[in-house]
């Protein structure tokens, strides 16, 4: 499909600067732009590519000021990054809207309730009493366990697994390899030096607009529910333990792990490879730097770093001294030698 610069500008509430009738049919990075494509520019580091790009249309911020002559048509908007994200989302929705129907190789229990306008791909297994909402897209080799409920317009990519009794909201996206509702890590040490498994009889509740990256796992509760609140975004390769609760609009980067029964507040941001101990309370709007280890409760609005983590300002001051330790040791050794020689 082709769209003119003016139609695109109308959609993202922008202003055309150049040929409003020029058409585009694909997307490109600004440094790799080709004729007939649309790109965007929001980071000043990439300004230099605008003057040589072959992209036909480039979305820029209203504040952008050109320093050289360029050949492309501009669409000026308040926030180029956000506007371009809207275009990508529209393209993705248009692409997926064509996928409707149920594959003959899928296995769907007779008691399952399947909504309207769904797409169920090859070798999907849907268990007894499952409720699948309208507009859901279920890709190949997905399995959905008994008594699980999915809201409207959910997307489960290839190989995702949802165990029994889970409750999923609307507009959720689970990428390939995601596992929802596997057993929590519950084992009781015995006098015989081995471990006895504790049955995990709870479930997982995931609210609306949650997105979970590939190969992430969310364990079912021992009793009660593991809860992921509205708008949470989890990256790839994240482990969420049993009975954890993650507050709404919290985002967590890849390879992070959250131990059982920890409660995380709203609007938090965690970097990659953050590790959080069990039974802790993390406040609202907390920011945790990558590779930090959390072993105690954190109050609202804290920014922390380190392992064990503490407030980022004293951490940075401490790190200055840490980097100087080799030189300090040399100086101490030199002073000790001088004192011995006196």
Cα(234)–Cα(216) distance, rounded to whole angstroms? 8
The phi, psi pair for 101, rounded to 5°, reads: 135, 165
Cα(152)–Cα(171) distance, rounded to whole angstroms? 6
Cα(275)–Cα(294) distance, rounded to whole angstroms? 6
Residue of 175, 242, 279, 334 marked catalytic? 242
Whose structure tokens read 């380190």? Answer: 306
Active-site residue, 279 included: no
By the 8 A CB rule, do 274 and 291 touch? yes
By the 8 A CB rule, do 41 and 30 touch? yes
Three-class SS state of 31: helix
By the 8 A CB rule, do 76 and 114 touch? no
By the 8 A CB rule, do 235 and 252 touch? yes
| CA distances for 307 relative to 265, 293, 296, 310, angstroms | 21, 4, 11, 8
The residues that are catalytic are 242
């Amino acid at each position: 499909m082709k769209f003119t610069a003016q139609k695109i500008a109308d959609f993202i509430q922008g202003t055309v600067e150049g040929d409003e009738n020029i058409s585009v049919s694909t997307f490109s990075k600004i440094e790799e732009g080709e004729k007939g494509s649309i790109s965007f520019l929001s980071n000043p580091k990439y300004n230099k590519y605008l003057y040589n790009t072959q992209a036909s249309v480039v979305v820029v911020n209203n504040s952008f000021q050109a320093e050289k002559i360029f050949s492309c048509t501009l669409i000026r908007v308040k926030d180029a990054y956000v506007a371009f994200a809207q275009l990508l989302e529209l393209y993705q929705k248009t692409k997926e809207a064509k996928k409707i129907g149920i594959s003959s190789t899928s296995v769907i229990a007779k008691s399952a309730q399947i909504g309207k306008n769904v797409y169920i791909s090859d070798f999907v297994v849907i268990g007894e009493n499952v409720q699948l909402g309208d507009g859901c897209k279920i890709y190949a080799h997905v399995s959905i366990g008994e008594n699980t409920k999915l809201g409207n317009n959910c997307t489960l990519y290839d190989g995702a697994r949802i165990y029994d009794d889970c409750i999923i909201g609307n507009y959720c996206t689970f990428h390939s390899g995601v596992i929802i509702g596997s057993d929590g890590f519950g084992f009781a040490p015995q006098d015989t030096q081995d471990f006895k498994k504790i049955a995990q009889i709870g479930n997982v509740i995931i609210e609306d607009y949650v997105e979970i990256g590939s190969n992430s796992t969310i364990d079912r509760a021992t009793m009660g529910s593991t809860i992921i609140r509205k708008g949470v975004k989890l990256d790839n390769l994240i482990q969420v333990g049993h009975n954890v609760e993650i507050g709404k609009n919290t985002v967590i980067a890849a390879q992070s792990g959250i131990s059982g029964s920890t409660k995380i507040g709203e609007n938090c941001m965690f970097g990659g490879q953050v590790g959080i101990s069990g039974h802790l309370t993390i406040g609202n709007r907390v920011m945790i730097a990558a590779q930090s280890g959390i072993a105690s409760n954190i109050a609202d609005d804290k920014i922390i770093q380190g392992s064990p983590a503490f407030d980022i300002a004293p951490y940075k001051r401490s790190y200055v001294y840490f980097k100087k330790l080799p030189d300090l040791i040399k100086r101490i050794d030199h002073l000790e030698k001088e004192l011995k020689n006196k």
